[in-house]
């Protein structure tokens, strides 16, 4: 893996016109897909709207081109995305006898984000990476990446267009998936990555018969009562750091239990932290059994993807994530005889939180100093 990497990392102009580097990578990926017949469609674990939307853009498009597809993700599709045509076809296991001509991996910047159960190369065939992250690790056989694309779904559509599909004849199921990808990663066309290509593709989706209101209803206007109960539990945990420029919210299993909520009900809680006046970075720390899951959101001044990469995560300038372990060190023979007491779970959580907060505060301070006149 990684020995034949062709990466389209060049940034296209705001209108979405590919650079020569991206166009060359696109031609190689398109040729590989054109020559194959059976494809595995995958994305990062804990699938979000862009990852799922991009998967289904590719799946519907390849099927329209007469290809066979098998959709895989190791975790269940979140409830708010199950309305997207094809979402019910995503499987959490791959039959042992299946072999693929290639695997299209969407919205994924690092191999470990695919999950521990991702199949070996003998099953997947070459990995074709369709991605738009800035902070990435080197994996894949052919890499089609544009960090300025609004979403991974845009990359998937560019590939399908290179294979002969046209915007004016876009099938409605594909258009629904593409619109979900666009609106989820552009914040309904509010985020800086929104450009002329974004709006052109959104127009093509609506021309194909997709109702923006129906999509909005499914994504953002169908909250459960449990999600509101959970909100009342999380908001009082608000902390401010770095002179108020960092806002942190915390979610625990106990809160989920008391709200009678499921992980699906968490939604976009982190956005409440970012939305505060005077905040540069909002964070949601979800406390797991042995690690903290950190969701980071910025407003442009601080590159939260770089902060996340310091903890083995990654993402974009304004949206990223990582995990920080607070698991206890294994007890070795003879331990505990004359050594000081081992830290409690709460102490280990506090130490992991402190590391995250310190890194975020440092990034915020550095970003502020960079803006000062020399």
Residues 155-182: tens digit of each pLDDT: 999 999 999 999 999 999 999 999 999 9
Give the pLDDT band (50/70/90) at residue 339.
low
Which range has the worst mean pLDDT, 8-12, 46-50, 86-90?
8-12
Cite the residue boundaries of each domain of the chain with CATH code 3.90.1640.10.
20-220
pLDDT score of 372: 41
330 pLDDT higher than 80: no
Taken in order 337, 341, 346, 349, the sign of the CA dihedral is negative
Instruction: Give me the CATH code for the 225-370 domain, please.
Output: 3.10.310.30
308 pLDDT higher than 70: yes
Q: How far is CA 188 from the centre of its chain?
A: 16
Average pLDDT over all residues of the chain? 90
Mind listing the pLDDT tens digit for each residue in 218-240? 999 999 999 999 999 999 999 99
Cite the residue boundaries of each domain of the chain with CATH code 3.10.310.30.
225-370
Give the pLDDT band (50/70/90) at residue 17.
low
Superfamily designation of domain 20-220: inorganic pyrophosphatase (n-terminal core) (3.90.1640.10)
Give the pLDDT band (50/70/90) at residue 18.
low
Global confidence as pTM: 0.87
| For residues 84-107, average pLDDT | 96
pLDDT score of 332: 59
- Structure-token match 């990223």, residue found: 320
298 pLDDT higher than 80: yes
């Amino acid at each position: 893996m990684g020995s034949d990497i062709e990466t389209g990392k060049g940034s296209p102009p705001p209108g979405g016109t590919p650079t020569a580097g991206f166009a060359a990578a696109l031609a190689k990926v398109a040729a590989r897909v054109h020559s194959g017949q059976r494809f595995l469609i995958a994305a990062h674990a804990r699938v979000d709207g862009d990852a799922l939307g991009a998967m289904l853009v590719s799946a519907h498009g390849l099927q329209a081109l007469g290809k066979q597809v098998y959709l895989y993700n190791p975790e269940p599709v979140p409830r708010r995305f199950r309305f997207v045509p094809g979402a019910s076809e995503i499987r959490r296991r791959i039959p042992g006898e299946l072999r693929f001509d290639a695997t299209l991996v969407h919205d994924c910047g690092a191999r470990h984000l695919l999950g521990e159960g991702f199949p070996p190369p003998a099953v997947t065939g070459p990995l074709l990476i369709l991605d738009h992250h800035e902070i990435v690790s080197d994996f894949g056989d052919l890499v089609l990446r544009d960090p300025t694309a609004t979403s991974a779904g845009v990359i998937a559509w560019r590939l399908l267009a290179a294979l002969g599909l046209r915007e004016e004849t876009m099938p409605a199921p594909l258009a629904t998936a593409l619109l979900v990808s666009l609106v989820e990663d552009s914040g309904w066309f509010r985020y800086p990555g929104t450009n002329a290509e974004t709006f052109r593709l959104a127009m093509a989706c609506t021309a194909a018969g997709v109702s923006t209101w129906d999509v909005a209803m499914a994504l953002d206007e169908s909250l459960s009562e449990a999600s509101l109960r959970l909100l009342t539990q999380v908001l009082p945990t608000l902390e401010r750091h770095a002179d108020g420029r960092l806002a942190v919210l915390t979610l625990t299993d106990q809160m989920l239990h008391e709200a009678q909520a499921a992980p699906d009900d968490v939604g976009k809680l982190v956005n409440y932290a970012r939305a505060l006046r005077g905040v540069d970075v909002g964070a949601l720390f979800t406390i797991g059994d042995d690690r903290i899951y950190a969701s980071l959101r910025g407003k442009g001044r601080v590159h939260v993807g770089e902060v996340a990469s310091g903890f083995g995560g990654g993402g974009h300038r304004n949206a990223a994530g990582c995990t920080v372990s607070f698991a206890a060190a294994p007890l070795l023979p003879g331990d505990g005889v004359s050594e000081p007491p081992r830290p409690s779970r709460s102490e280990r959580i506090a130490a992991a939180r402190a590391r995250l907060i310190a890194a975020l505060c440092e990034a915020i301070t550095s970003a502020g100093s960079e803006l000062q006149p020399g």
